[in-house]
Amino acid sequence: PIDWESVRQNRAKYEAMKWQGLPPIKKHFYVEATSVTNLTPDEVTVWRKENNNIIVDDLKEDEKRPIPNPVQTFEEAFQQYPEIMKNISRVGFLKPTPIQSQGWPVVLQGFDLIGIAQTGTGKTLAYLLPGFIHLDHQPISREERDGPGMLVLTPTRELALQIEAECSKYSYKEIKSICIYGGGDRRSQINVVTKGVDIVIATPGRLHDLQMNNFVNLKSITYLVLDEADRMLDMGFEPQIVKILVDVRSDRQTVMTSATWPPGVRRLARSYLKDPMMVYVGTLDLAAVNTVEQTVLVIAEEEKKHFTFSFVQSMKPEEKLLIFVGKKIIADDLSSDLILSGVPVQSLHGDREQCDREQALEDFKNGSVRILVATDLASRGLDVLDITHVLNYDFPRNIEEYVHRVGRTGRAGRSGIALTLMTRNDWKVAAELIQILERANQFVFCRKVLHVTLNIVVQTFSQKKKQTF
């Protein structure tokens, strides 16, 4: 029989030898403001309840640690770091979002963090600003390290590029970052990363490629982020993630973000985070943002295109529409038909060249086109704040993707409207969908759409009447 105790002992010896000689890590950078210390338990409870029912849980198995009080201003979090405050003032934010207010005291104290929050709630800055501080205050200076100090793993190239843009926006002490993703110029990425960078933002596939060919040293990573972990698992990246993390030192600090909390994400957290604290905003039950009015219309498959054209014609000049479809061929077909009818539109899906995808996003962001037709590629990481409407032309492949699609509107305190077209083939998810609508305080009843009523429904929808199912 196998002597499992000997196996465990040998594995522990191997791990100790593997990481021998690496420089120490500093993780604690937090000085609690007096105003935060003086908050009473009742004041903290009220604040968390008023800020979308924040719940904080210490997942350490033995002796529990005190739960940090939230910060309510940027000064309370970063009073010791004037360069961070200068950048925040330059950008013009007024106050932290709930996930930032509760997440920053956790991360700055050096704890691992699991942050569960809906899309568009500021999760990127929740890990990025503490990451800057972590990098700059290590015992070994950035210039002396043999590789990057921070790694952000993310599911899509669009989200990776968005995170890199945030790094540039909140530039801190000339910290260098690189975005590594499939479809980009591999040779150029290799040249940059081998010359020396502080932050690597990467999709798992391309990073694993560079790792296997010894172009990037991951043993220098002391701050790891698994961003949108649920989406990375949905896309089948778990094997690459496991292989990547084999080369990242086990005493690192790790932050995991997710919009949902399915079993796969829980398994990933148990395997790769050490005694984390969990901060979840809202509920662990799957829920769409409550700033979005959601309407679901039952319609025949052959009527969907006619309805979409009618809806597009009813749009006001200041409105911006994101249309989700299930297949790349449908995205091309629908966008082509809209263009032929005189409607400026862009499309976004995985078969388009990277330069075309970037141009499509830029045109949609700057308002050159008001309509973007996309696959679920755009359900995560599409940070366009002024999307007024989401139209689910095809129902998503699972209820989690429905939540993420809807979350593309109603962002950053704005309100939004989401319309979903549902056919008989989609009825199997009706029960789950009703639960999502009810959790978001939507009014639920059944409406079936016939061809003769399409224009009436479009008009009613554009006037933001009651939510329907």
HEC profile for 365-427?
HHCCCCEEEECHHHCCCCCCCCCCEEEECCCCCCHHHHHHHHCCCCCCCCCEEEEEEECHHHH
What's the pLDDT at 290? 67
313 and 404 assigned to the same domain: yes
Could you report the per-residue pLDDT of 1-47, keeping only the tens digit for each? 666 677 666 666 767 677 888 889 999 999 999 999 999 999 999 99
131 and 53 assigned to the same domain: yes
**Which residues make Cβ contacts (< 8 Å) with residue 107, sequence separation at least 6?**
113, 126, 127, 130, 253, 255
Q: How many domains does the chain have?
A: 2
**Which residues make Cβ contacts (< 8 Å) with residue 384, sequence separation at least 6?**
320, 322, 364, 365, 408
Decide if 46 is inside a domain: yes
Decide if 285 is inside a domain: no
Domain limits at 137?
Answer: 4-280
Out of 232, 254, 280, a domain closes at: 280
Decide if 161 is inside a domain: yes
Decide if 129 is inside a domain: yes
Question: Which one, of 398, 405, 403, 426, lies nearest residue 322 by Cα?
Answer: 405
Out of 215, 248, 280, a domain closes at: 280
Decide if 286 is inside a domain: no
321 and 458 assigned to the same domain: yes
What's the pLDDT at 216? 94
Decide if 469 is inside a domain: no
93 and 51 assigned to the same domain: yes
Amino acid at 171: S
What's the pLDDT at 451? 45
* DSSP per-residue string spanning 255-272: EEEES---HHHHHHHHHH
* Token representation of residue 120: 């568009």
What's the pLDDT at 145? 87
What's the pLDDT at 453? 43
**pLDDT tens digit at each of 469 positions of the chain:** 666 677 666 666 767 677 888 889 999 999 999 999 999 999 999 999 998 889 999 999 888 899 999 999 999 999 999 999 998 988 888 899 999 999 999 999 999 999 998 766 789 999 999 999 999 999 998 888 889 999 999 998 888 998 999 998 887 888 999 999 988 889 999 999 999 999 999 999 999 999 999 999 999 999 999 999 988 988 889 999 999 999 999 999 999 998 878 888 899 999 999 999 999 887 555 555 667 888 888 899 999 999 999 999 999 999 999 999 999 999 999 999 999 999 999 999 888 888 888 899 889 989 999 999 999 877 765 778 889 999 999 998 888 788 888 888 887 667 889 999 999 889 888 888 888 888 777 766 555 554 434 444 444 444 544 444 4
What's the pLDDT at 118? 73
137 and 226 assigned to the same domain: yes
339 and 423 assigned to the same domain: yes
Amino acid at 63: E
User: What is the CATH classification number for the domain harbouring 60?
Assistant: 3.40.50.300
320 and 404 assigned to the same domain: yes
259 and 296 assigned to the same domain: no
Pair type for strands 277-280 and 55-58: antiparallel
268 and 147 assigned to the same domain: yes
d(CA 219, CA 422): 49
Assess contact for 370 and 360: CB atoms under 8 A: no
235 and 301 assigned to the same domain: no
d(CA 382, CA 347): 13
Out of 237, 254, 280, a domain closes at: 280
Element housing 309 (H / E): helix 304-314
Assess contact for 324 and 390: CB atoms under 8 A: yes
303 and 274 assigned to the same domain: no
What's the pLDDT at 357? 85
Query: How many residues are listed for the chain in this entry?
Result: 469
Q: How many CB atoms lie within 10 A of CB 39?
A: 17
Place of tokens 């569960």: 116
430 and 456 assigned to the same domain: yes
Decide if 322 is inside a domain: yes
The number of helix segments (H) and strand segments (E) in the chain equals 19, 14
Decide if 467 is inside a domain: no
